[in-house]
Structure 1
Amino acid sequence: MSEKLVLIDGNSIAYRAFFALPLLNNDKGVYTNAVYGFTTMLLKVLEEEQPTHMLVAFDAGKTTFRHETYKEYKGTREKTPPELSEQLPVIRDLLKAFRIPYEEKENVEADDIIGTLAARASQDGWKTKVFTGDRDLLQLIDSNTEVALTKKGITNVDVYTPEALHEKYGLRPLQIIDMKGLMGDSSDNIPGVPGVGEKTALKLLAAHDSLEGVYEHLEEVNGKKMKEKLADNEEQARMSKALATIHTDIDLVTTPEQLKRQEPDQEAVRTLFQELEFQSLLARVGGEPAEAEAMEELDVTVVSSWSEALEASPAAIVIESLEENYHHAAIVGIGLANENGIFVLPESVRRGEGFQDWAADENKEKFVFDAKRAVVSLAWEGIDLNGVRFDVQMASYLLDPGVSSHELADIAARKNGMQVHGEEHVYGKGKKMAVPEEAVLNQHLGRKAAAVLELVPEVRKELEDHQQLELLEELEMPLSVILGRMETHGVAVDESELRTLGESLTSRLDEMEKRIHELAGMSFNINSPKQLGEVLFENLGLPVMKKTKTGYSTSADVLEKLQTEHDIIPEILHYRQLGKLNSTYIEGLLKAVHPRTGRIHTRFNQALTQTGRLSSTEPNLQNIPIRLEEGRKIRRAFIPSEPGRKILAADYSQIELRVLAHISQDNSLLEAFQQNLDIHTKTAMDVFEVDRDEVDGGMRRTAKAVNFGIVYGISDYGLSQNLGITRKEAKTFIEKYFASYPGVQEYMDSIVEEAREHGYVTTMRQRRRYLPDITSRNFNQRSFAERTAMNTPIQGSAADIIKQAMVDMEQALQESGLHAVMLLQVHDELIFEVPEEEEEALADLVKNVMEQTVALDVPLQVDVESGSTWYDAK
């Protein structure tokens, strides 16, 4: 196989990807849209090009040797948005996982690295293909070198050979720099000759071959004014050509021969994709996890009956249920380890009174792995679990919230504990998932229980050293049991209401389809991107924003930019929203109703987010879209489990801003909340410099976006995208905010310094988030860590407060004798069901308990509403 070198312009492709895709982030708040776009391009290149050698080139810094010639080179470029800068280190991590080399060199640009390697490869007869979004690199084309230039989008490219370049522009490759010398390049702030555009430059070069030729034959140029412009700017034109010239002979240690392509580190790629939540790309990279080493067999006793030997405290117990959604799964086995040995309890033993009495006994000390799952799995068999004193998974999460896996095998490996096989190794995955033969299963159950028992002393000591044992024992572990009970109870659903809503949506969709067809002047399949693209861009003649491999792009970001171009666009966007509501939420929720209970049993993920917030899956009940009225109506289907009961919702008002006021001790912010002022109106007054009665709805909405943006460390770019304003306007808003609330600015600065000193930040309850990049020399990595340092104590403390409120409410309900049940937690909101006659008493109790959960320097405020459905309660 002959050598084929692929060179990728890293900054250019990342930049294109960032602006081509909406601003995505994973559940940890890491922005991912540029990484995702870059990855899709990379996978396509690997699949289609099959290179033997490969390199990605990056710019090393802002200044290059070109600045010595012209200080204003690239001087008009806006600062790279931090949301993009923060993704560049992740792209480098991606390349490491794929084992693709990358290069950056001080004082030169990525273009020069690519140019030098392409020239060397071409001299040796290698075929080379360059991927970039920058037309400057077209000058590198020769008989061995092609340039793939991205069009609108990322994976769509136009491939230029010498013939293709001549056909499109009538130029030879090196004439690209002559053209840039004449017309300049606004993106790089290369001045060129004022008044000379692309058409004029092409005409001049067609007549005179090169920039030098133009000046040698200046008298032959048509037009007196054009001659004068060329004559007056000759020095500037020659300088512009020099600036646009890619150097193909820089001092580069790397040679094409050293860039031999290696096989990716499949496990590293899989792990990174999982962290970034690139689920759709996981299947494309394949790769099975490596086979675990054979382990020495443990002495495991399979007991035939409950006995005194099993009663010894403390005991580690592992309740294993196979399916991921354990609400639908039977227990496949129980492992138990204590001072007397390692045991496996078969079904006959766990269904006996001895085990069930022991499990329910609060005084029998138990160590577990994943208390919530243990509680739920046993509850589905009618068995109570009490006396849980330690949860290894939750402890691991508190100690290392940033790691990608809290599976027991990985925890044991990190803590030098007993070696344990991963779950996929024992059970397989997907359709191949199955219970192994009895001997293998028993060894696995026993090994997990023994590992839990072994890990507890070490992990507990580590928590004590971090002042986090109280966080585990008084907050997270009681909460695990509460969440387990909430999951087991589930939420009652009116399936007929869901179906009625589905029928109503289907009818609306049919009406909208007719309206869209009328506006289009023809019938077509609205859900077919190909047909929709032809209707919009060929039949209706709307401006083409982006093209894909199969035709015109009709993605949401494209349609949003076209909203004012034609009445059909808002209709299509609304049609899609309603279609997603119907398929994802109506049909999805109907499928999630448990056949035995008639309820939905969502799973609360307690050990997932780095801020400590709970999330909800299978199905996600925290994410039902309520900005659309049609989405809000879905909550009508969530009802009390019995007649004569109501749904009650209690919502913390602006909890993160109140936490910010408490932590920052900003006098203006404290005063606003202490006087019960509307904080968004107050901020609007400060930002827009108006009196209270002059604040209109638009001003308040802007102020609200600024208030919450500050909490999340938003940049001027991010705020400009949220509000549809310029970055300059957004920057002004942020500056005025900090001028109005100087204590917030001081807090932001001080928390970053604290993070640099300790390497982590903490919430009010000592929850930690580690920030290893806070002292990085890499600006991009460091800036992301700084933004995270600012946000985590606020968001994490708010998460701790709502969790503590759940623990306090559970205790208050037990003491009150009320028959209310906590059903759901949705971010800053708790949902209950309650007998009608207890509704008022519960409302008073909830408001009192939640507002007194913690003592802040500003009052906590809870809004309580109730109704016959979740919809009516809001």
Structure 2
Amino acid sequence: MNKKIVLIDGHSILNRAFYGVPDLTNSEGLHTNAIYGFINILFKILDEEKPDYLTVAFDVNQPTFRHEMFTEYKGTRKSMPHELREQVPVIKEVLKTMGVCIMERPGFEADDVLGTLAKKCEEQGISVSLVSGDRDLLQLASDTIKIRMPKTKRGVTEIEDYNTKDVIEKYQVTPSQIIDLKGLMGDASDNIPGVPGIGEKTATKIITAYSTVENAIEHMDEIMPKKAKESFMANIDLALLSKKLATIKTDCELEFSLEEAELGDLFNQDVFIYFKKLEFKNLLNRFQDNIDHHNSMEDSFKIVESLDEAELVFQEIEKNNKFVGLQYIIEEDDILGLSIAASEGQVYYIGIVGFIHLDYLKSKVDNIISKNIMVATIDLKNQLPYLTADEDSKIFDLSVAAYLLNPSKDTYYYDDIARDYLSITVPSRNDFLGKDKLIKAKEEKSEAFHNFCCYHSYVAYCAYQPVSDELKNTDMLSLFLEIEMPLIYSLYDMEVRGIEVDKEALKEYGDKLGTRIVQLETEIYDIVGEKFNINSPKQLGVILFEKLKLPFGKKTKTGYSTSADILEKLRSEDPVVGMVLEYRQLTKLKSTYADGLANYIKEDKRIHGKFNQTVAATGRISSTEPNLQNIPIRMELGREIRKVFIPKEGYIFLDADYSQIELRVLAHMSGDERLIAAYKEEQDIHRITASQVFHTPLAEVTSAQRSNAKAVNFGIVYGISSFGLGQDLNITRKEAESYINKYFETYPRVKQFLDELVASGKENGYVTTFFCRRRPVPELSSSNFMQRSFGERIAMNSPIQGTAADIIKIAMIRVNRKLKNLKLKSRLILQIHDELLVETHKEEVEQVKNILKEEMYKAADLSVPLEVEVNEGTSWYNAK
């Protein structure tokens, strides 16, 4: 088996950690965020790679040949911030204490050291993983040299991997051609000038056509576009210099011994002392376990197989515990047992076996809850069928809490929580069981199954306090206790109740769609003069851009792009485009809803969908199995799907909808007096905005002006750019920019508020809603302009959309609670963004209307009134 070495670009990863981790200082005043982030990335790489050798290369703080060549053009590199500079010698000392090989060679940059080591190791048959944030190093990628680039996605550090094929796939050039690409486009982050006016797209086009900068110079007359050619001709020397600057040396004279790079014991006593000094409390467990040779956590896990043993466990808990970690082990509709932790050293799995029945376990767990013993668990909603619990029960859902603390992650499983809040790595479900179902694993992998079960309650028990403390520290404990925890019960109630579907009406709807789809196919074939697969982007692209010669054709490796935004731009060019767009919408409606919904209808004729509260980073609730929030209601045929959703006999639907809630939230949060006055006076906000933006008397505002003002109003909430607004309104970017500027002149406090949100996001790394919900915005610190722009839109929109989401959550909790407390027959069954749907008994219609209005109005105390529209109907369609 091949040996493996990990090579790390020290300054690059330290720099990335410095800007990616919030500022940390120890009690001596030393900044430590870069060190902390570096060590975490190092551990992640080592856990994944399990290498035989490790070397970290650092730049030496003196000029190299690249610096000297470059000074006549741009001077020297940007100076390092003091807070980062002071951490460089410390990380080197930490690595030396860990026994890690460090390479620093005067006259050579770390890139050149790494390039030389990578090639030397490759020649010796050693697999290489090279870790850096510098894309210059992609030129080293090969089948045995893997370039690993840490990258922040949605607030979580992930690592992009590049071998030869990955570089070609991502950049359309070979690894060796990366230097030619940089020669033309440059790289500001690495002080490579490039050719002025040639960006990545043009550079890629030139290099894919001519392979090298030198060959492109030989074919200068063929270069397109004209501006690029002229700039290239005027800057040939700069292009050649830039290529030289980008070229990494792979033949440096280095003294290097693999024995020195051999990976030893990273977790020694000296390292533990150093980490205590740096106050890396979250990392001490990892070292402490190794230093003191603690027994494995799993040694404290016990299997309870008899009723007598179970009785003793529960008696001890009821007698001595104020707090437990608890988890029902469930797969689909099967419950296999209970995992319960009374302390870190008392963790039990109690299976449903022999005389231990489900009813017995339920009664014991209910007894624990009734005695006000705090229960920490993970994914409470999934366990509610087996608990007698309500909003007042002392239960703490760690998955929801972890979501609040970092809403950008994809999962909040027990192993995620252990890693993030206990700083320990525990095996995941996949590590224990692979893809096996729990029932199968219980029989065939008994020990792994029991450990998997016990880790749930163990982690819940251990993580409860640090997670609770973190909620307090971030001012989100009230949000968690007063909104997110009660919400679990409302969502569960809606899932259990479901919504009735008229199967016959659903079939008729599908038939209607099918007829229109066939009609559209025929019309499209007639117009283009041939049959083709309309669902194939490749075939459609050929028809539109080669046969019909329509504009905006963007050819990629797989053919022309026929994305929705491209087709929308083409809509006015040819009638066939509108037909294709309609065809796509209708085929999606048919497959997803007309045909798809039938699979979700249960024996009670109802669909019991899932409502998820730990998915959307803004705080919005999402809907799955099926997704009822994504019905394309802007087209009539899309809206008609709501006709198949009907109330049960003796009931009608009441649909309550917040009117313009996000704009009202904007008015309140910005404090703009004119916007607040417009809402207080119950004016048509879009008409009044049109009047003020277009300097037109209110009575003379046209429907087109009102429509444009509406687009601006809602666009502002989403941080829309002049480019985006121009596309939406089919006007020039300049006109769109004028609209936005006039809007901000009309509502100046809105502009100030949005700017403050962006500034706050940059300073803190997150923005907050009215109810203190945090949304991390790591994109704001990105060196990439597009990423930063995206971050600015998130910073502007999230506090508004998140506040609106919080308000609707409060409303649904209050409505659901009121209907239950009054013991009404009517019940809340759906929440779709700003809309609540209540299946209302015919004798309770007026009472429920009043409840909806009262509870939704009172959900938040804003400086503008919340407006609620309530409609009734015999189907969801009629009630909307």
Provide the TM-score with structure 1 as the length reference.
0.69
Q: CA 1:573 to 1:433, structure 2 compared with 1: closer, same or farther past 3 Å?
A: farther
Establish whether residue 770 from structure 1 lines up as the match of residue 772 from structure 2: no
Corresponding residue for residue 493 of structure 1: 501
**1:50, distance to aligned residue in structure 2 (A):** 10
Distance of 1:777 and 1:572 partners within structure 2: 39
Q: Report deviation, 1:728.
A: 0.9
Report the equivalent of 2:299: 297
Q: Does 1:174 align with 2:217?
A: yes
Partner of 1:242: 234
Q: Distance in 1 between matches of 2:596 and 2:755?
A: 45
Q: 1:511 aligns with which of 514, 519, 529?
A: 519
Q: 1:233-274: CA deviations, max 9, x gaps?
A: xxxxxx8831477521348555355599xxxxxxxxxxxxxx
State the alpha-carbon separation in 2 of the partners of residues 580 and 136 from structure 1. Answer: 36
Q: In the alignment, does 2:626 pair up with 1:619?
A: yes
Give the letter aligned to residue 362 of structure 2. Answer: F
Q: What is the aligned partner in structure 2 of residue 424 from structure 1?
A: 430
Q: 2:349 aligns with which of 332, 344, 347?
A: 344
Deviations 1:46-74 (A, max 9, x none): 59999565747888999x9xxxxxxxxxx
- Select which of 377, 381, 384 maps to 1:369: 377
SS of equivalent residue, structure 2 residue 643: helix
Q: Distance in 1 between matches of 2:461 and 2:234?
A: 70
Given that 1:761 and 1:768 are in contact with CA atoms closer than 8 Å, whether structure 2 keeps it comes out as yes
Residues 164, 175 of structure 2: 8 Å contact kept: no
CA distance in 1, matches of 2:184, 2:861: 48
- Choose 554-563 or 808-817, whichever is displaced more: 554-563
Which residue identity is paired with 2:302?
V
Flag the 1:692–1:750 CA change in 2: closer, same or farther, 3 A.
same
Cα distance in 2 for partners of 1:554, 1:771 equals 31
TM-score (normalised: structure 2): 0.69
Partner SS state of residue 676, structure 1: coil
Equivalent residues in 2 for 1:68-467, closer than 5 Å = 104-106=189-191, 108-109=193-194, 133-134=201-202, 138=206, 147-148=207-208, 159-160=209-210, 173-174=216-217, 176-177=219-220, 185-186=226-227, 241-243=233-235, 247-250=239-242, 252=244, 254-258=246-250, 296-305=298-307, 307=311, 308-311=315-318, 312-322=321-331, 326=332, 329-339=333-343, 341-347=346-352, 349=356, 351-353=358-360, 355-356=362-363, 358-359=365-366, 361-376=369-384, 378=386, 387-416=393-422, 419-429=425-435, 435-436=441-442, 437-467=445-475
Alpha carbons 1:762, 1:768 under 8 Å: kept: yes
Q: Secondary structure at the match of 1:626?
A: coil
Q: Secondary structure at the match of 1:336?
A: strand
> In the TM superposition, what is the alpha-carbon distance from 1:40 to its structure 2 partner?
14
1:80-131 deviation line (CA, Å, top 9, x unaligned): xxxxxxxxxxxxxxxxxxxxxx88443612789x9xxxxxxxxxxxxxxxx9
Residue deviations 1:737-773 (CA, integer Å, cap 9, x gap)? 1100011122123333444454432212111223456
Pairing partner for 1:839 from 827, 833, 845: 845
Describe the SS at the equivalent of 2:239.
coil
Distance 2:868 2:193 in 1: 57
Q: CA deviation at 1:362?
A: 4.2
Q: In the superposition, relative to structure 1, how do residues 818 and 40 fare at CA in structure 2: closer, same or farther (>3 Å)?
A: farther
Which consecutive residues of structure 1, in runs of 5 or more, have no partner in the other structure? 4-8, 12-27, 65-101, 115-130, 139-146, 149-158, 166-170, 193-238, 261-292
Q: Is it true that 1:580 corresponds to 2:588 in the alignment?
A: yes
1:469 corresponding residue in structure 2 = 477
Contact 2:687 2:706 in 1 (8 A): yes
CA distance in 1, matches of 2:798, 2:583: 37
Contact 1:371–1:477 (CA under 8 A) maintained in structure 2: no
Q: SS state of the match for residue 878, structure 2?
A: coil
Q: Which structure carries more relative contact order (alpha carbon 8 Å, separation 6+)?
A: 1
2:407 touches 2:616 (CA, 8 Å); kept in 1?
yes
Matches within 5 A, 1:717-756: 717-756=723-762
Once the two structures are TM-superposed, the CA of residue 863 in structure 1 deviates from its matched residue by 0.7
Contact 1:344–1:446 (CA<8 Å) still a contact in 2? yes
Letter in 2 for 1:840: E
Q: Does the 8 Å CA contact 2:655/2:837 hold for their aligned counterparts?
A: yes
- In the alignment, residue 588 of structure 1 is paired with which amino acid? G
Q: Where in structure 2 are there 5+ consecutive unaligned residues?
A: 1-118, 124-133, 137-152, 253-294
Structure 2 residue matching 1:857: 3-state secondary structure:
coil
Give me the whole-angstrom Cα distance separating, in 1, the residues matched to 2:858 and 2:391: 30
Tell me by how many angstroms 1:786 deviates: 3.7
CA contact (8 A) 1:651 1:862 kept: yes
CA distance in 2, matches of 1:685, 1:161: 57
Distance 1:370 1:698, change over 3 A: farther
Compared CA separation, residues 694 and 44, structure 1 to 2 (3 A) = farther
Task: Using the TM superposition, give the Cα deviation of residue 433 of structure 1 relative to its aligned residue in structure 2, in angstroms.
Answer: 10
Which letter maps to 1:424? N
State how far apart, in whole Å, the 1-side matches of 2:585 and 2:342 are. 55
Which of 33, 39, 45 does residue 168 from structure 2 map onto?
A: 45
Is contact 1:563–1:569 with CA below 8 Å preserved after alignment? yes
Q: Which amino acid aligns with 1:811?
A: R
One-letter amino acid of the structure 1 residue matched with residue 399 of structure 2: Q
Contact 2:328 2:383 in 1 (8 A): no
Does the 8 Å CA contact 1:58/1:103 hold for their aligned counterparts? no
| Native 8 Å contact 2:665 2:800 kept in 1 | yes
Specify the alignment match of 1:567 in structure 2. 575
| One-letter amino acid of the structure 1 residue matched with residue 300 of structure 2 | L
Asked if 2 retains the 8 angstrom alpha-carbon contact of 1:748 and 1:790, the reply is yes
DSSP 3-state at the match of 1:337:
strand
CA contact (8 A) 1:298 1:447 kept: no
- Cα deviations by residue, 1:324-374 (Å, 9 ceiling, x for unpaired): xx4xx4223321122593222322535224633642754443424334433
1:638 matched to which residue of 2? 645
Q: Is the 1:303–1:343 Cα contact (8 Å) retained in structure 2? A: no
Instruction: Return the match for 1:789 from 784, 795, 803.
Output: 795
Taking a change above 3 Å as real, the CA distance of residues 579 and 672 of structure 1, as seen in their structure-2 partners, is same
User: Structure 2 vs 1, CA of residues 303 and 60 (structure 1 numbering), >3 Å: closer, same or farther?
Assistant: farther
User: In the alignment, what sits opposite 1:598?
Assistant: 605
3-state SS of 1:620 partner? coil
Q: CA–CA distance in 1 between the matches of 2:816 and 2:741?
A: 44
Q: How many residues align?
A: 676
SS in 1 for 2:877: coil
Q: Do 2:195 and 2:238's aligned partners in 1 also have CA atoms closer than 8 Å?
A: no
Distance between the aligned counterparts of 1:444 and 1:135, measured in 2? 52
Q: Deviations along 1:135-166, whole A, 9 cap, x unmatched?
A: 7974xxxxxxxx31xxxxxxxxxx4479xx9x
CA shift for structure 1 position 598: 3.4
1:712 and 1:57 mapped to 2: Cα distance?
39
| Alignment deviations for residues 171-223 of structure 1 (CA, whole Å, 9 cap, x no partner) | 9843654577xx9834x5x8x6xxxxxxxxxxxxxxxxxxxxxxxxxxxxxxx
Q: 1:103 to 1:255 in 2, by over 3 A?
A: farther
Query: CA-to-partner distance for each residue in 1:840-870, whole Å, 9 max, x for gaps?
Result: 2111110111011111110000111121111
CA distance in 1, matches of 2:556, 2:764: 48
